[in-house]
Amino acid sequence: MAHCSAGNEGVVVSHDGEGAEGERTTLLLGNPNVGKSVLFKNLTHRYVTVSNYPGTTVEVVRARARFNGRETQVVDTPGINDLEPRSDDARVTLELLEQHRDAVIVQVADAKNLRRALLLTLQLAERGRSMVLVLNMFDELEERGGRIDTRRLSEILGVPVVTTVAPRDQGTSELVEALPAARAPRIHGPLATGAAPAGAGRSLPVLPPEPPGDGYEANRIRLERVKEILAETYSIEPPSHPSLRVRLGFWAMDPVKGLGFLAAVLLAVFWFVGLFGAGTLVDLLEVVGFQQHLNPLAIELADATLPFPHQHTTELISQPIGLPISPAHEVTVGTIERTVVLPEYSIPPGAELSARQHALRFVHDLLVGKYGTITMALSYAFAIVLPIVTTFFLVFSVLEDSGYFSRMAILLNRTFRRIGLNGKAVLPMILGLGCATMATMTTRILETRKERIITTMLLALAVPCSAQLGVLLAMMAALSPAAALVWLALVLSVLLLVGWLTARTFGGETSEFILEVPPMRRPQLANVLVKTASRLEWYLKEVIPIFVIGTAILFLLDKLRLLDGIARMGEPLVTGWLGLPPEMANAFLVGFMRRDFGAVYILDAMHAPQPLLSSHQVFVAMVTITLFMPCVANFLMIAREHGMKVAWRMAGFIFPFAFLVGGLVNRLGRWIPV
């Protein structure tokens, strides 16, 4: 398939110094969303997060590979539309181009959209960079009845042109073979129309010395040239009958059908994450996995290795397992019953514990006690958080790869405008429903500082992350649907209000909304799975240490009998202002570390044999903890992205604000039919 250039007369390029000195470098470069990262994987067998959303490669990925018997460094770059340093992404790519002056550039193009690719090729040509042009997604072009005369294209440009279908790993070896033939493209190659100006070959482009309008004029001239090249090499028919996929893409951004589509998507996500993940899977893992099997096993093991006189309580735990149909209905598949030992224990009266036994008891409690690492921290992390986050990231990856998020951005652009953002903030906001920390990092795709700050703020305040959302859903199951709606309305209005206020506080411009809409694609299962796995890995690495440390701190405070003291200290706030029992201070205490941890604590208090909280109190606690800063990691990420000062200011606003709103709900919200 490779068509190495035939006529490259007069093109003398210092292409790569033939690897004599140092190492060769291959730079993958191209428009956003053309499949650079998949091709990178094919070339190096290393995985990069790939999405059907422009601007996914935020960080540069490098890997080593052997091409034609030579060790080569392969670099994947963020997608760019032209060689202007317009965004952070483009700046990164430009810097890489500068750093690797003798690198071979593999320009990856969407074969369907050759026009845009050639716009970039011409700019590389102006810089005299030696390159290979890869026409990726060639299958999609052929599906559309499109045609590219690759031989002719290669002749005109004077560079090798290779066709690939990256997801199926087609054309990769041809690409590797073509690498040594990389050349700098000609700007004015021979055209049959005779349109090529006199100074063909390596002559500089007919560009005005200082292009007016910040590169606009230059692009306009390039596009004229591109038009000439396309006329000779490229044809594509507009599809006579748009495929279902294309029509879905239209519906998804239609003002009316789009909302229906959005509702359907939300419902599906709610079912899969909220009901299936947070319901069925959590039941299975938490009750069956931990309470019925792992905890008793851990307790037995602890008792065997750390002996001291005590008697654990036993209880019959029965758990119906079912598939949810609606929030209120489920099809019960079966019930799992088992009599198990609980972490709670009593010491026989009259037993005197020696110092050694006290020490053993301490370790025993640290591992499997009420605030035990296994019985609390790990069971929260693996049994409650893990299933919810897994289901969420699965759905998120599917939606991301399908190209739906760009359409959502189109739908929500006007709403976001009111809070000083534009539609592009959709991606971080939705990702925030998975993990606010991860999403804070993604705010880099936004263009102005103002937008990044507002999005970061809203993520920290009012966008509950999946772990917390799952716990909240579980709490809501105990409350009425009306309470859930009020909660949702409250969180949304806080989001809009604070967004609106922040937009006014932070001066500066909101960037204009100009977003390329990627085609709807069928998500590739393997890609979705790998992406979910890599996000999960990242997430668990964040979560488990915090859960373990947080539990250990709770445990120590409890052992030192400080918990009651703290509860008393927090009393004016917790009991006086929020109207909650003093024990709830613990929930907020751990909530400072992770708000979902605090939420789990509240959930526990609800499910205790003697419920600590009334429905109204649950609702108040729920609202307060929703508005907490997500976690310590999030705080650190904000500090990393925007500086310590901004992070402290945000925390200084968020926590008092959360208590303020919680208290207001307590005072004014008694009428809410919870």
Partner 1 sequence: MGTVASRWLTCPMCGFEFDRDDTLCAHGCPLGALCNLLMCPNCEYEFPETPRAISWLRGLLGRKQPAASRLPAGVRPVTQLAAGEKGEVLCLGGRNGSRYSTLSAFGLVQGSEVTLVQQRPSCVIRIGETELALDLEIAEEILVQPRP
Which residue ranges make up the site for partner 1 (CB under 8 A)?
81-82, 84, 86, 110, 112-113, 115-116, 119, 212-216, 219-220, 223, 236, 250, 253-255, 258, 406, 409-414, 417, 422-423, 512-517, 519
Nearest to 99 by CA among 129, 133, 69: 129
The residue among 201 and 519 lying less far from partner 1, judged by its C-beta, is 519
SS3 category, 559: helix
Is the distance from CB of 313 to CB of 342 less than 8 angstroms?
A: yes
Is the distance from CB of 364 to CB of 303 less than 8 angstroms?
A: yes
Q: Smallest distance, Å, CB 255 to partner 1? A: 5
What's at 582, amino acid-wise?
P
Question: Could you give the angle at the alpha carbon of 670 between the alpha carbons of 669 and 672, nearest 5°?
Answer: 70
Q: Smallest distance, Å, CB 421 to partner 1? A: 12
Give me 175's structure tokens: 């690409």
Please report where in the chains the tokens 């800063």 appear, as a residue: 629
Is the distance from CB of 301 to CB of 341 less than 8 angstroms?
A: no
The residue among 69 and 238 lying less far from partner 1, judged by its C-beta, is 238
Q: Smallest distance, Å, CB 669 to partner 1? A: 29
CA atoms within 13 A on the CB side of 328: 3
Q: Smallest distance, Å, CB 514 to partner 1? A: 6
The residue among 392 and 416 lying less far from partner 1, judged by its C-beta, is 416
SS3 category, 85: coil
CB atoms under 10 Å from CB of 629, counted, come to 24
Give me 479's structure tokens: 């409350």
The residue among 67 and 513 lying less far from partner 1, judged by its C-beta, is 513
The residue among 514 and 526 lying less far from partner 1, judged by its C-beta, is 514
Please report where in the chains the tokens 């604000």 appear, as a residue: 657
The residue among 215 and 669 lying less far from partner 1, judged by its C-beta, is 215
Q: Smallest distance, Å, CB 123 to partner 1? A: 10
Beta-carbon contacts of residue 143 (< 8 Å; ≥ 6 apart): none
The residue among 70 and 257 lying less far from partner 1, judged by its C-beta, is 257
Return the DSSP state at 62: E
The residue among 145 and 652 lying less far from partner 1, judged by its C-beta, is 145
Is the distance from CB of 628 to CB of 465 less than 8 angstroms?
A: no
Q: Smallest distance, Å, CB 506 to partner 1? A: 20
What's at 635, amino acid-wise?
F
The residue among 380 and 416 lying less far from partner 1, judged by its C-beta, is 416
Q: Smallest distance, Å, CB 512 to partner 1? A: 6
The residue among 414 and 670 lying less far from partner 1, judged by its C-beta, is 414
Return phi, psi of residue 152, to 5°: -65, -40
The residue among 21 and 512 lying less far from partner 1, judged by its C-beta, is 512
Give me 614's structure tokens: 């009334």
The residue among 286 and 447 lying less far from partner 1, judged by its C-beta, is 447
Q: Smallest distance, Å, CB 220 to partner 1? A: 4
477-495 CB burial, b ≥16 within 10 A, e <16: eebeeebbebbeebbeebb
CB atoms under 10 Å from CB of 88, counted, come to 15
Alpha-carbon torsion (603, 605, 611, 616), positive or negative: negative
What pairs with residue 329 in β-bridges?
Answer: none
Q: Smallest distance, Å, CB 516 to partner 1? A: 6
Q: Smallest distance, Å, CB 448 to partner 1? A: 12
Tallying the residues shown for the chain, one arrives at 674
Is the distance from CB of 366 to CB of 344 less than 8 angstroms?
A: no
Is the distance from CB of 452 to CB of 502 less than 8 angstroms?
A: no
Q: Rounded to whole angstroms, how far apart are CA atoms 399 and 523?
A: 8
Give me 635's structure tokens: 């705080």
Helices (H), 51-186: 88-99, 114-126, 138-143, 150-157, 172-178
Q: What is the dihedral of CA 499, 657, 663, 556, to 10 degrees?
A: 130
Please report where in the chains the tokens 């370790």 appear, as a residue: 363
Q: Smallest distance, Å, CB 237 to partner 1? A: 12
What's at 621, amino acid-wise?
A
Nearest to 226 by CA among 365, 88, 119: 119
Q: Smallest distance, Å, CB 250 to partner 1? A: 7
The residue among 518 and 663 lying less far from partner 1, judged by its C-beta, is 518
Q: Rounded to whole angstroms, how far apart are CA atoms 498 and 506?
A: 12
Please report where in the chains the tokens 């005590």 appear, as a residue: 310
Q: Smallest distance, Å, CB 414 to partner 1? A: 6
Nearest to 365 by CA among 293, 288, 298, 316: 298
Q: Smallest distance, Å, CB 136 to partner 1? A: 13
Q: Smallest distance, Å, CB 80 to partner 1? A: 8
The residue among 371 and 416 lying less far from partner 1, judged by its C-beta, is 416
Q: Smallest distance, Å, CB 503 to partner 1? A: 16
The residue among 81 and 624 lying less far from partner 1, judged by its C-beta, is 81
The residue among 15 and 407 lying less far from partner 1, judged by its C-beta, is 407
What pairs with residue 651 in β-bridges?
Answer: none
Beta-carbon contacts of residue 27 (< 8 Å; ≥ 6 apart): 75, 77, 96, 97, 100, 103, 104, 105, 106
